[in-house]
Chain A
Amino acid sequence: MTFFPQAKVYDVCVVGSGAGGGMAAYALTQAGADVMVLEAGAPWDNSKDSAMLTWPYESPRRGKSTKERPFGEFDACIGGWEIEGEPFTRAPGTEFSWWRARMVGGRTNHWGRISLRFGPYDFKRKSRDGLGDDWPISYEDVAPYYDKIDRLIGIFGSKENLPNEPNGVFLPPPKPRCHELLVKQAADKLRITCIPSRLSILTRPLNGRAACHYCGQCNRGCKVNANFTSTNVLIAPALATGKLTLLTNAMAREVTVDKSGRATGVAYVDKTTGTDQHVRAKVVVVAASALESARLLLNSKSAGFPNGLANASGTVGKYITDTTGTDVGGFIPKMVDRVPHNHDGVGGMHLYMPWWLDNKQLDFPRGYHVEVWGGAHTPSYGFMGGIHRYPPGGGYGKQLKEDYRRYYGATIGFSGRGEMIPNDDSYCEIDPRTVDRWGIPVLRFHWKWSDHEYKQVKHMQETFRALIAEMGGQASSPMPGAERGYGIAAGGTIIHELGGTRMGDDAKTSVLNRWCQAHDCKNLFVTDGGPFVSQADKNPTWTILALSLRTSEYIADQMKKGAL
């Protein structure tokens, strides 16, 4: 391999510009470090590139998805399950899909802004039910960073004083939509906790950013930055310090090390020219997304690290998890003949249901939260998803046209998002026979759900059907049986992959220490979802941000002390 030694040695090289990398770039430049960020994807600027407020009829595709934009052509996120020239493989029998974003800001351009803190129980699950492992840190260690993130980025919510759903520093939540109140009514009857959602969308101006204007299109990228993306809330101010160099279309190939085993920088492919390049740095922070980071470390082989960098324990790529998920939608007769009004609201639900049950009464461990959807949206491709599933059962002509008007927006649905427990059959490794278009060896996935997950998802299905029945509705699909895994979504499809470089106090069973610093390589850190010891029934982004901030402050402190 030819290196092009650059004169400059950066203080820190960060791989990735999503939540974990963006936060590291922000915090480290604030601390005065010279930072280089390598981003594998393209530039993107919400203020120019967003399709916010575009009408579906402005495109002949009417908002339909494309291969590059699986969540619709107006979606901000460039990426998907399949990326040209970047394959991955699956072991026989494995069902797993790997989402990758390829743009500045990474997946923060895509997600639902559901910003839930992990609670005190979530860090100590093994102590509570004997399964998986405890984290080496506790909620109290992370809480101050959650507070800082809340204040810096902004989040709305309500203080509920629930034991495992910690309060945050909340902006006021938006009032529920009318159909969400119907959901709340049903949830109250069934004794399911239903509270204002907690989304990183500004309901009040914050730190120079405008408040939300309630167009409901966060996923298209907000032109006024009223919601959180790493690009506009972290990378932009980091660039403004003059301390950040952001390199796009730079695909990391390998973390390089010297003979003493210290990281010296990152070798990368400049995708625009196809040439190999190298950036030198005193500290390397890997935040390429959990599985991509595992891949990068596994591919960073050298005489001192024959199994990949920071992999003396052999646990890089192990203990990977995704959130469990299943959805049920239903037709709600009360919602027929809606009163026309604007209920776009924020780009997501205004109410949700945190986990509310005691596992001692259940046949599965851990829990799930429930996301609420439905009501009327801007009509676009896929409008109403099959009128034959509504009471008229089909039809054509004037009656059908009238039926469309009457039944438009008369559905409510629920998505369960639950906690998978890491298991020995779910891991990734380098496929020895397959490389991507730059010759970088790719990941091969192994995936298996256990009965814990299947039983949990069965419970989700039963709960959602009970909620729909309570509202006087009919589920739009029959209950899936055991042969279909009770409707469990395939691994990876909820896009919450975590683990692969987990943290721990024991260097024999973990990759990183409690500061997300590699046990085997002192100046190497991981700040994405990789360090997570376990999932929770919560979306991981807020915890990725908090851990990245915590690690970045630690790096800045150690550098000042000359310890790195």
Chain B
Amino acid sequence: MQRRDAVQVLAVAPLAAAFRWAPESVREASALARTAVARGAPYEPKHFTAHEWETVRLLVDLIIPKDERSGSATDAGVPEFIDFMVGDDADLETPIRGGLAWLDHECDNRYGKTLVASSDTDRTALLDDIAWPKKAKREHSAGVAFFNSFRDLTASGFFSSRLGVQDLRYIGNTFVSEWKGCPPEALAKLGVTYGE
């Protein structure tokens, strides 16, 4: 399968799923996107310019970087997920692209550069101003609102990925032959018992 085909399937998927959940087409699109990521093939974004795409890739890894336990947001395919969602949900495109533009504009005002071109220290200084809503200054409110939703979207993409599910140590979505309740360690942690 060529990359072009994969992109076409992705473009068709939301339409196919429009009336009724269409497992085949959506699954296929998802699998193709995953394979492309696994092969390291360059993914062509459908809803972002090249510069926006670079910014998205940078930003998601600033939010969820690689650490001792698991890989980064880009390792988990989060940029591709965001690209899909922006096409799937019409209400997302303007806030996301506008938010990326806000970041660049803010960086330009502060440092005369885009976010991508700014230094690590400068990027950190900017994120520190918008990443904690309660501590943020009023003049940064647009950036705060964008960062809240972009961080949520990044977390959705990361933790719902195969990599993220493992990272969280989620156990479930499977057949259980007999429900025995929660294990003793889980009960002890909350200070509850089955009274048996």
Contacts of A334 in B (CB 8 A): 189-191
Closest-CB distance, A330 to chain B (whole angstroms): 15
Contacts of A378 in B (CB 8 A): 165, 170, 172-173
Given known A62-B160, A379-B160, contact A401–B65 (CB-CB < 8 A)? yes
Contacts of B193 in A (CB 8 A): 181
Residue of B nearest to A340 (CB): B169
Task: Decide if B173 touches A379 in the complex (CB within 8 Å).
Answer: no
Contacts of A452 in B (CB 8 A): none
In the complex, B53 has a CB within 8 A of chain A: no
Please report the C-alpha to C-alpha distance between residue A398 and residue B19 in the assembled complex, in whole angstroms: 40
Task: Decide if B160 touches A56 in the complex (CB within 8 Å).
Answer: yes
Closest-CB distance, B163 to chain A (whole angstroms): 9
Contact with A along B164-188 (1 / 0, CB 8 A): 1101111111111101111101110
Residue of B nearest to A344 (CB): B172
Closest-CB distance, B177 to chain A (whole angstroms): 7
Contacts of B26 in A (CB 8 A): 58-61, 73
In the complex, A385 has a CB within 8 A of chain B: yes
> Which residues of chain B in 128-185 are interfacial with respect to chain A, using CB atoms and an 8 Å cutoff?
131-135, 147-148, 151-152, 155-157, 159-162, 164-165, 167-177, 179-183, 185
Contact with B along A324-367 (1 / 0, CB 8 A): 00000000001101111111111000000000000000000000
In the complex, B115 has a CB within 8 A of chain A: no
Closest-CB distance, B196 to chain A (whole angstroms): 10
Please report the C-alpha to C-alpha distance between residue A54 and residue B148 in the assembled complex, in whole angstroms: 28
Contacts of A178 in B (CB 8 A): 181-182, 186-187, 189-190, 192
Task: Decide if A64 touches B183 in the complex (CB within 8 Å).
Answer: no
Q: Flag the segment in A208-216, A295-303, A460-468 that touches B.
A: A208-216
Chain A interface residue count, Cβ-Cβ cutoff 8 angstroms: 74
Chain B interface residue count, Cβ-Cβ cutoff 8 angstroms: 71
Please report the C-alpha to C-alpha distance between residue A386 and residue B155 in the assembled complex, in whole angstroms: 9
Task: Decide if B182 touches A177 in the complex (CB within 8 Å).
Answer: yes
Q: Find B30's partner among A51, A58, A182, A343 (CB 8 Å cutoff).
A: A58
In the complex, B38 has a CB within 8 A of chain A: no
Task: Decide if B181 touches A177 in the complex (CB within 8 Å).
Answer: yes
Interface centre among B29, B147, B181 (most CB of A within 10 A): B181
Residue of A nearest to B23 (CB): A51
Contacts of A59 in B (CB 8 A): 26-27, 30
Contact with B along A171-183 (1 / 0, CB 8 A): 0001111110110
In the complex, B13 has a CB within 8 A of chain A: yes
Closest-CB distance, B29 to chain A (whole angstroms): 6
Task: Decide if B172 touches A379 in the complex (CB within 8 Å).
Answer: no
Closest-CB distance, A121 to chain B (whole angstroms): 31
Contacts of A175 in B (CB 8 A): 179-182, 194
Closest-CB distance, A149 to chain B (whole angstroms): 24
Given known A64-B88, A181-B192, A381-B160, contact A404–B179 (CB-CB < 8 A)? no
Residue of B nearest to A212 (CB): B179
Please report the C-alpha to C-alpha distance between residue A419 and residue B17 in the assembled complex, in whole angstroms: 37
Task: Decide if A185 touches B10 in the complex (CB within 8 Å).
Answer: no
In the complex, B7 has a CB within 8 A of chain A: no
What are 27 residue pairs bridging A and B, where the CB atoms are less than 8 Å apart in the complex? A51-B23, A53-B173, A57-B160, A59-B26, A61-B84, A61-B88, A63-B160, A64-B85, A64-B88, A67-B18, A78-B20, A175-B181, A177-B182, A179-B190, A215-B172, A215-B174, A340-B170, A378-B165, A383-B155, A383-B160, A395-B132, A396-B63, A397-B65, A398-B67, A400-B64, A401-B64, A405-B167
Give the interface of A toward B (CB within 8 A). 42, 51, 53-64, 66-69, 73-74, 78, 174-179, 181-182, 184-185, 203, 212-217, 334-335, 337-346, 376, 378-388, 393-398, 400-402, 404-405, 408
Q: A335-B190, A408-B159 are in contact. List 14 more A-B contacts (CB 8 A).
A: A55-B173, A57-B162, A60-B13, A60-B30, A61-B26, A175-B182, A181-B193, A215-B176, A339-B183, A341-B183, A342-B171, A381-B160, A387-B155, A388-B148
| Closest 3 pairs (CB-CB, A-B) | A175-B181, A181-B192, A178-B182
